[in-house]
Amino acid sequence: MNGIILIIACLIAGKAVTAAITCKKEFIYSLNRVAITIALPALILDKVHSQAFSLEAIFPLLSPWILFFITIGLVYILRIFIPMSRITMGTLILLAGTSNTSFVGIPLIQAMMGTEQYLGIALWIDQSNFILLFTLGAFIADFYSGEQVSIIKNLKVLLKYPPIIALILAFLLKPFTYPEFVTYTLEAFGSLITPLTMISVGASLALPSNKKLVGYLSIGLIIKLILLPLIVLGILLFIYASPNVYINQIVLMQAGMAPMVIAVIIALEKGLDGELASIMTAIGIPLSFITVPLFYYLII
């Protein structure tokens, strides 16, 4: 409960601060940069390093990729009944097919579960999701926007991304024990992830101005927030589930997270429907604070 109250307080604080300043975009950008270059890498270096790798991690790692391919299939099925352009298809696949597993996922999981023991699992899903975004996701964005596909360029961007660098270092340093002062410093920086990201989300909250996109917005959010977690729930109930209920909860929650902010940036850069992408994220994030806890309680 304390974690939920912290998230609500941060959302209110973010909205209150931006109501009193004129440089809203710069403020949000600064918070995101600190979160993505300091707080999240520190959390990864701390939790992934200490999380023992086992076969139970395979399904969590594969889950973002499975859901991305399912999203492609769902969009193509819906296209039979609902006319949509290639640009719209690409935007829906990119935004519904990837999840906000770090900025929203990590704080929400910490708040709901109240345990740090399996946070490494959530971070593995998060990093798998990032690798997916910058490889297959970027390929989809290029393909549907009509741009030339540049796999090498996308991989270079991926390898320069601070959380990915932290992930590589965390695995390389696994044979070694951190000195106490390093652990303390990483924990301190990593604890910033919730206030930084939730204040940023609160500052970003806004209602859509373009009513014409409501239909496609509804399609994207139904896929992202309802159908995909339902599919994961079905997999966990009838096909495969870890004997560890915490891992199942984390996989289900991460599957139902809102569209990710960085996917919006890629959509804009690649020439997809930036307005639809932005609205899906702006509306999806606050809605996920309702839908994700509902799915969490389904599998307790």
pLDDT: which is higher, 123 or 231: 231
pLDDT reported for residue 86:
93
In a domain, 150, yes or no: yes
Instruction: Count Cα neighbours of 271 within 13 Å in the Cβ-side half-sphere.
Output: 10
Q: Is residue 7 pLDDT above 60, yes or no?
A: yes
Q: Is residue 226 pLDDT above 90, yes or no?
A: yes
Range of the domain at 19: 1-25+55-156+210-297
pLDDT reported for residue 152:
78
pLDDT reported for residue 190:
87
Q: Are 41 and 160 in contact (CB under 8 A)?
A: no
Using DSSP, state whether 61 is helix, strand or coil: helix
pLDDT reported for residue 120:
80
pLDDT reported for residue 13:
87
| DSSP notation for 244-286 | -HHHHHHHHHHHTPPPPHHHHHHHHHHTS-HHHHHHHHHHHHH
In a domain, 163, yes or no: no
In a domain, 178, yes or no: no
Q: Using alpha carbons only, what angle is made at residue 195 by residues 194 and 200, rounded to the nearest 5 degrees?
A: 100
The residue assigned the tokens 């996701």 is: 137
In a domain, 9, yes or no: yes
Q: What is the pLDDT of residues 236-272, one digit of tens each?
A: 999 988 888 889 999 999 999 999 888 887 888 788 9
Using DSSP, state whether 150 is helix, strand or coil: coil
| Ramachandran assignment for 156, one of left (phi > 0), alpha (psi -120 to 50 degrees), beta (any other) | alpha
Q: What is the pLDDT of residues 129-140, one digit of tens each?
A: 988 988 889 889
Q: Is residue 3 pLDDT above 80, yes or no?
A: no
In a domain, 171, yes or no: no
Task: List C-alpha distances in Å: 160 to 103, 157, 167, 231, 291.
Answer: 19, 5, 12, 33, 33
Give the span between the Cα atoms of 141 and 187, in whole angstroms.
36
**pLDDT, average across residues 89-118:** 86
Other CB atoms within a 10 A radius of the CB of residue 52 amount to: 8
Q: What is the CA radius of gyration of the chain?
A: 18
Contacts of 238 (CB under 8 A, 6+ apart): none
In a domain, 47, yes or no: no
pLDDT reported for residue 207:
67
In a domain, 172, yes or no: no
**pLDDT, average across residues 76-103:** 93
Percent of the chain with pLDDT over 70: 94
Domain count, the chain: 1
In a domain, 270, yes or no: yes
Confidence of residue 84 (pLDDT cuts 50, 70, 90): very high
Q: What is the pLDDT of residues 17-75, one digit of tens each?
A: 887 777 887 888 888 888 889 988 998 888 878 777 777 778 999 999 999 999 999 99
The structure's pTM equals: 0.84
